[in-house]
């Protein structure tokens, strides 16, 4: 059933704008559609589209407990500008305490296994909690962002989380996104002005040099193929 629905919506949406994609999905999924904002430029653009069109889509973000100060600041600025509520999902206290007490507070640097365990507790479990009971979620993924995102579709089945994933900005280029943010005076993380094109948790994100891949500052000690936190893993 979902396969047919996905094909139908994908056909309807060929050549549509991000706004049209979100409107169509809001009509199809009603109050079972949520937007997971990671507060990056893409997600700020989506928040702008949702808020300025009054689309009935609730917005949430994951507070891993290790975000940059600037990211927390951006949550407040965005809520205040658009007069919206961004729902915050935090890690489960017991699971987090167990992990850091067993493996160390900065254990993510010492192995991919540790890093994935940290992402599991701080991001994946809270994401699953946030998605529970919904039929579809919106994400700000773009094809250009990394080798692991090249073959995504606008609407696709998210096997890991058991619901439909909507990628309204999939075909946007970096220039298009930057122009959209500037033209619409959308609030964004000030770290973007200091060499951080992609921002996640503070200990796992660094500034990059000009010409480096836009995801090179995330988990820079790992190879590009392993660089997904699991939130957008396929199959």
Active-site residues: which are they?
229
Does 119 bind ligand SF4 (CB under 6 A)? Our answer is yes
- For residue 100, the surrounding DSSP H or E stretch is helix 93-103
Does 108 bind ligand SF4 (CB under 6 A)? Our answer is yes
CA–chain centroid gap for 190, Å, is 18
Looking at beta carbons only, is 130 or 204 nearer to ligand SF4? 204
Does 104 bind ligand SF4 (CB under 6 A)? Our answer is no
The answer to whether residues 225 and 148 touch, using CB atoms and an 8 Å cutoff, is yes
Say how far apart CA 166 and CA 140 lie, in whole Å: 9
Does 123 bind ligand SF4 (CB under 6 A)? Our answer is yes
Closest distance to ligand SF4 from the beta carbon of 91 (Å): 8
Does 227 bind ligand SF4 (CB under 6 A)? Our answer is no
The answer to whether residues 202 and 214 touch, using CB atoms and an 8 Å cutoff, is no
Residue closest to ligand SF4 (Cβ): 201
Say how far apart CA 184 and CA 174 lie, in whole Å: 16
Give 3-state DSSP helix, strand, coil % of the chain, rounded to 5.
Answer: 50, 10, 40
Listed ranges 12-20, 44-52, 170-178, 197-205: which one lies at the site for ligand SF4 (CB under 6 A) = 197-205
Contact residues for ligand SF4, defined by CB under 6 A: 64, 66, 108, 115, 118-119, 122-123, 200-201, 203-204, 229
């Amino acid at each position: 059933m979902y396969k047919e629905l996905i094909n139908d919506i994908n056909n309807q949406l060929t050549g549509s704008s991000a706004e049209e994609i979100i409107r169509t999905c809001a009509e199809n999924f009603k109050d079972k559609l949520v937007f997971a904002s990671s507060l990056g430029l893409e997600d700020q653009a989506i928040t702008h589209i949702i808020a300025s069109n009054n689309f009935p889509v609730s917005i949430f973000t994951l507070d891993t407990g290790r975000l940059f100060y600037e990211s927390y600041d951006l949550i407040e600025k965005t809520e205040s500008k658009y007069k919206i509520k961004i729902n915050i999902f935090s890690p489960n206290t017991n699971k987090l305490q167990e992990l850091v007490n067993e493996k160390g507070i900065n254990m993510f640097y010492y192995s991919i296994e540790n890093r994935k365990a940290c992402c599991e507790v701080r991001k994946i479990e809270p994401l699953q909690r946030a998605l529970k009971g919904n039929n579809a979620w919106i994400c700000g993924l773009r094809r250009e962002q990394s080798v692991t995102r090249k073959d995504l579709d606008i609407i696709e089945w998210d096997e890991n989380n058991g619901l439909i994933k909507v990628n309204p900005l999939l075909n946007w280029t970096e220039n298009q996104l930057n122009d959209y943010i500037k033209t619409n005076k959308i609030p964004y993380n000030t770290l973007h002005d200091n060499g951080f094109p992609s921002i996640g948790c503070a200990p796992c994100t660094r500034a990059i040099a000009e010409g480096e891949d836009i995801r090179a500052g995330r988990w820079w000690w790992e190879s590009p193929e392993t660089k997904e936190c699991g939130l957008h893993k396929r199959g």
